[in-house]
Amino acid sequence: MAGISPILGFLASGMLLGPNGFGLIADIHTTEVLAELGIVFFLFEMGIELSIERLTSMKRDVFGLGLSQFLASAIAIAGVGKVVGLPANAVVVLGGGLALSSSAFVLQLLKDKNQLATRFGKASFGVLLFQDLAVVPLLVVTPILAGGGSGLAAALGSAVLKAGIALGSIAVAGRYLLNPLFKKVAASQSQEAFLGLILLTVLSMSFMTEGLGLSNTLGAFLAGVLLSETKYRYQVEADIAPFRGILLGLFFVTVGFEIDVALIFSKLPTVSAIVFGIIAIKTIVLTLLSLAFGLSTSVSQQTGLILSQGGEFAFVAFGLARSLGILDVPTTKLLLTSVSLTMALTPAMASAGEKISKALEEKSDFTHYLGQDRDANEIKESDDFAVVIGYGAVGKVVCDLLDRKLVKYVGIENDPKKAIQARNAGLPVFYGDIGRQDVAEAFNVGKAKAVVVCISDRDQANRAVIALRRFYPDVKIFSRARDKNHAERLQKTLNVAAMVPILPEDNLLLTLPFGGAVLKALGGSPEEVNAILETKRKEVMSGISLVESEEDMALVQLGIDPEIRKSANSQPSMEEDSEEVAPTEKSAAANRIQEMKQSSPFVAEVIGDVYPDSEKEQEPEIIEVVIEEELVTNGEETNGEDGMAIRSDKNMTGLEVEAVVVPEE
């Protein structure tokens, strides 16, 4: 059914097949071991998607919000445990265990909904990272509590020392061993050897941290972060995706094993109180803390709701407590069943958070859209962010590409409805008119690494670019143009290098070279930009079906006579050319790209990086380029074909504005 999370299907399968269902899987130990590997590989993949620089930028979410959430939730839950009469040692384990949330459930949901790059997604990820660290002292303290609590300080000191050794060892291994090893194995061109090295890396790092008292998932995550700094990250991610998905699905099935339907019905009031008590306490605590850390009401409640469940490490903590006699068997079983139910409710909690967020945004006024929203403050006060002007079809693609690069950005949209839709999705897009200097200053546009103008209306785009030039002479600007004439006008009046495509209006593939140039300007390596654009291109292609006239237009763009392709009885498309494409067409496309590269150093740089000869020279979505090197004269007034006069003055000369023509929405 549409809108139903597949996680619920895995849980239902576990309930039916496991020992509490039909008993078709009686020995669940082996299944649980394999399922644990699913979490390990999932966290490894999450690490690959982060760079060390990006992880460092999350320190406020990890060590500020994350630490506060764990301590406050643990204290609140422990207080409830004390009230109901649990012994002191059990109260500590209960509070610590239930303060943890589920990385597997939450991150999978965020990834499925493309929300990892949203503000609430980043906050949730930061909290989960700290919780992985918090597992260490919890597991160290539990055996000590069983012995009366003596030697607690020494044990915690030892745990900190072991954590330092583990993290240091992983950092050294990653810096001096991983890159050379992967380089050597990649040179052998053996896919099996490359996959084997990936498995060796993940498992060895996991076992190292586990052996030193840390969680194995933390080791896998750190291994991923280290590999994210290498050029092999995208190949690694692609290779582990298939079996990572299978193993992670198996984990969700094992959670279903723990849901005892008979126990639920026999102790329904107790189970209900525990389940909704956990959700209520964790939601309230994290929502209030998120507000205190400067997040908006909308983002705070979403973060609180999506992290309101118990986590997979609660199974480990409570299992250890049971083996040490801190918790009895009936209490442990009741707790594990309740935790499983909270995890099963995670998709519903996430959905509720989205609906509440939408309602809050619809009822709010637009005062906070003028750069005063607390979600925007952290971004616009940083030293590394972009500004996207216009959140139409093209602006959405550009923002999505920035998200994939994990680049901070602020979007400015003068259509309130579009701004509300973006805010409902948790994206940093706000209402405002960039033509007003007070609005531009509110968003701190002058500090942006790049400003990307994606406005479809010709006159509005002109006014935006001119205003930005006047306000901020040194800011790098990328501007969308509607057609060849518009691009030429921007060239002549603002010294623009214009790339002019010929494609149907609704084809967003045009936006990819535009976005690629932006990513490169923001520090993206050619390999990283290529991989991001390739992924996005396939996503766009999945929703495009070109008619014959559109195919002809694409061929003309490449300088290929459509009749040649038709006579060859081939199927033109915007996908990668297959081996059956006529050699004449391939050479024509290759020649056209070479001509484009020779037309301008800027175009050569963009086309060469975004569409390298070795990988992309047969891509049809190459755009025709018109370049004129022309500087405007101070004080000269130029009239464009649309009758709108543009005056250039001293602070308009020598500035770099790159205009890429994309179709009207």
- pLDDT, one tens digit per residue, over 244-301 is 778 778 878 888 887 888 889 999 999 999 999 999 999 999 999 999 998 888 889 9
pLDDT for 521 equals 74
Asked whether 77 and 286 are in contact (CB, 8 A), the reply is no
- Please give the structure tokens belonging to residue 310: 């118990």
pLDDT for 310 equals 93
pLDDT for 606 equals 42
Angle, CA of 555, 556 and 560, to the nearest 5° = 65
Q: With DSSP H G I counted as helix, E B as strand and the rest as coil, what are the percentages for the chain, rounded to 5?
A: 65, 5, 30
pLDDT tens sequence across 596-655: 445 444 444 444 444 444 444 433 333 333 333 333 333 344 444 443 333 333 333 344
DSSP class of 40? H
Full DSSP string of 570-587: ----SS---TTS-HHHHH
Asked whether 332 and 258 are in contact (CB, 8 A), the reply is no
Which residues have CB under 8 Å from 377's CB, separation 6+? 294
pLDDT for 306 equals 95
CA separation for the pair 490, 492 (Å, rounded): 6
Using the predicted structure, report yes or no on whether residue 215 has a pLDDT greater than 50.
Answer: yes
pLDDT tens sequence across 37-69: 777 887 787 778 666 666 677 888 998 999 999
Range in 73-82, 480-489, 554-563, 582-591 the model is least confident about? 554-563
> Of 190, 167, 181, which is closest to residue 230 (Cα–Cα)?
181
Domains of the chain, first to last: 6-149+158-359 (1.20.1530.20), 374-546 (3.40.50.720)
pLDDT for 565 equals 42
Helix (H) or strand (E) holding 185: helix 179-187
Give the pLDDT mean for 397-409. Answer: 81
Q: How many CA atoms lie within 13 A of 445 on its CB side?
A: 34
Confidence of residue 173 (pLDDT cuts 50, 70, 90): confident
CA separation for the pair 187, 77 (Å, rounded): 54
Confidence of residue 389 (pLDDT cuts 50, 70, 90): very high
CA end-to-end span of the chain, whole Å?
A: 31
CA separation for the pair 481, 496 (Å, rounded): 11
pLDDT, mean over the chain: 73
CA separation for the pair 546, 610 (Å, rounded): 23
- Please give the structure tokens belonging to residue 243: 């079996």
pLDDT for 106 equals 92
> Of 94, 101, 141, which is closest to residue 332 (Cα–Cα)?
94
pLDDT for 509 equals 63
CA separation for the pair 370, 226 (Å, rounded): 38
pLDDT tens sequence across 503-530: 344 456 666 777 787 787 777 777 778 8
pLDDT for 558 equals 36
Using the predicted structure, report yes or no on whether residue 374 has a pLDDT greater than 80.
Answer: no
Confidence of residue 362 (pLDDT cuts 50, 70, 90): low
DSSP class of 428? -
Using the predicted structure, report yes or no on whether residue 563 has a pLDDT greater than 90.
Answer: no
- Please give the structure tokens belonging to residue 75: 């204290």
Give the pLDDT mean for 120-138. Answer: 85
Range in 35-49, 71-85, 400-414, 443-457 the model is least confident about? 35-49
What is the rounded (10 degree) CA torsion for 88, 138, 34, 237?
A: 150
Between helix 6-17 and helix 329-344 the angle, nearest 10°, is 150
CA separation for the pair 590, 607 (Å, rounded): 12
Q: In Å, what is the CA distance from 223 to each residue of 50, 110, 365, 657?
A: 11, 21, 45, 40
CA separation for the pair 387, 476 (Å, rounded): 10
**Collapsing DSSP states into helix, strand and coil, what is residue 647?**
strand
> Of 499, 509, 502, 506, which is closest to residue 478 (Cα–Cα)?
499
Give percent of the chain above pLDDT 90.
Answer: 15
Asked whether 453 and 478 are in contact (CB, 8 A), the reply is yes
136 C-beta neighbours (distance < 10 Å), count: 21
Instruction: Between 147 and 576, name the one with better pLDDT.
Output: 147
**H-only helix segments in 495-637:** 511-521, 526-541, 548-557, 562-567, 583-599, 601-610, 613-616
- Please give the structure tokens belonging to residue 171: 């950092």
pLDDT for 69 equals 96
Confidence of residue 155 (pLDDT cuts 50, 70, 90): low
- Please give the structure tokens belonging to residue 505: 């209006």
Range in 116-120, 225-229, 265-269, 657-661 the model is least confident about? 657-661
Question: What is the residue type of 283?
Answer: T
Instruction: Between 366 and 328, name the one with better pLDDT.
Output: 328
For residues 304-343, b (16+ Cβ closer than 10 Å) or e, as one string?
A: bbbbbbbbbbbbbbbebbbebebbeeebbbbbbbbbbbbb
Q: Which residue has the tokens 């990250």?
A: 233
Which residues have CB under 8 Å from 485's CB, separation 6+? 641
Range in 107-116, 162-171, 336-345 the model is least confident about? 162-171
Using the predicted structure, report yes or no on whether residue 537 has a pLDDT greater than 50.
Answer: yes
